[in-house]
Amino acid sequence: MPKLSEIYISNWVHFNEKEMSLKGVPIHQNQTDSELKDFLVEVYKSSGLSYPKFYKMDNLSKSAFISAHYLTHESEVWKVSGESKKGVLIFNSVSSLETDYNFHKTYSPKDSIPSPSLFVYTLPNILIGEICIYHKIKGENLFFISESFDADEILAQCEQIFEFNALDQLICGWVDSFESKSNATLFLMERKVKQNESAAIKKLNKSNLELLYLNKN
């Protein structure tokens, strides 16, 4: 069973309504000041993905899904890891509040019919489902609501997940979306790291988590 000192952050991605960056390097910028929903589609279209279900997701799931794609798409280890060796651990502060609110509007006033497609996204952990379905992840997955980004809590949960689930890789981080603003920071954590990649990876510890989260741009 691996200890936390044996786990590394091999990649990290930041996404908000203005920019997407990979390891701190911008890869997409919202140069036309588009609304979040339009910027998400721009990023999706330039990603090379062909996954029509993306259009049906709410902004929270879209932010998580597209971030997870960029986080993993160049990882050779990710491609060959077993389905049960990969997991997802996500935190946020607003849960699915924006979609809850939009769903509520569909059955107000009285006697109007609630929207089934919005109802689907009235739980925040649906975003994990979207990532797991696409990436065929069958390992542990957990979603927590937290007031703010809490590196200690992330480390505590990572310890549990890696120790008891024999995972090789974990998509872990923070994904919030509310009032047309998103804030996603995802880390790819793993214990099988090639030696020649050592310069580009970080040890999993509190200071690195906070540093990478705060220095997002």
Partner 1 sequence: MENLKQELKLKILEELNLEDLTIEDLQDDTLLFGEKIGLDSIDALEIIVMLDKDYGVKIINQQQGIKVFHSIQTIADFIEESRKA
Lay out the site mask for partner 1 across 77-96 (x = CB under 8 A, - = otherwise).
--------------------
User: CA-to-CA distance for 50 and 64, rounded, in angstroms?
Assistant: 16
The footprint of partner 1 on this chain (CB under 8 A) covers a number of residues equal to 10
User: Which residue lies nearer to partner 1 by CB, 55 or 164?
Assistant: 55
User: CA-to-CA distance for 216 and 48, rounded, in angstroms?
Assistant: 24
Choose the binding region for partner 1 from 6-14, 109-117, 150-158, 193-201 (rule: CB under 8 A): 109-117
**Residue 152 CB neighbour total at 10 angstroms:** 10
User: CA-to-CA distance for 168 and 2, rounded, in angstroms?
Assistant: 10
Q: How far is the CB of 106 from partner 1 (least distance, A)?
A: 9
Four-residue CA torsion sign, 19, 24, 26, 28: negative
Q: How far is the CB of 55 from partner 1 (least distance, A)?
A: 4
List 3, 29, 56, 146, residue binding partner 1 (CB under 8 A): 56
Choose the binding region for partner 1 from 2-10, 22-30, 115-123, 209-217 (rule: CB under 8 A): 115-123
207 binds partner 1 (CB under 8 A): no
52 binds partner 1 (CB under 8 A): yes
Give the E-state strand segments of the chain in sequence order. 8-16, 19-22, 25-29, 86-92, 141-145, 169-178, 181-190, 202-203
Bin 95: left if φ > 0, else alpha if -120 < ψ < 50, else beta.
left
User: Which residue lies nearer to partner 1 by CB, 56 or 138?
Assistant: 56
User: CA-to-CA distance for 121 and 96, rounded, in angstroms?
Assistant: 7
116 binds partner 1 (CB under 8 A): yes
Q: Are 118 and 106 in contact (CB under 8 A)?
A: yes
List 102, 115, 125, 165, residue binding partner 1 (CB under 8 A): 115
Choose the binding region for partner 1 from 9-17, 18-26, 114-122, 171-179 (rule: CB under 8 A): 114-122
Binding region for partner 1 (CB under 8 A): 41, 52, 55-56, 112-113, 115-117, 120
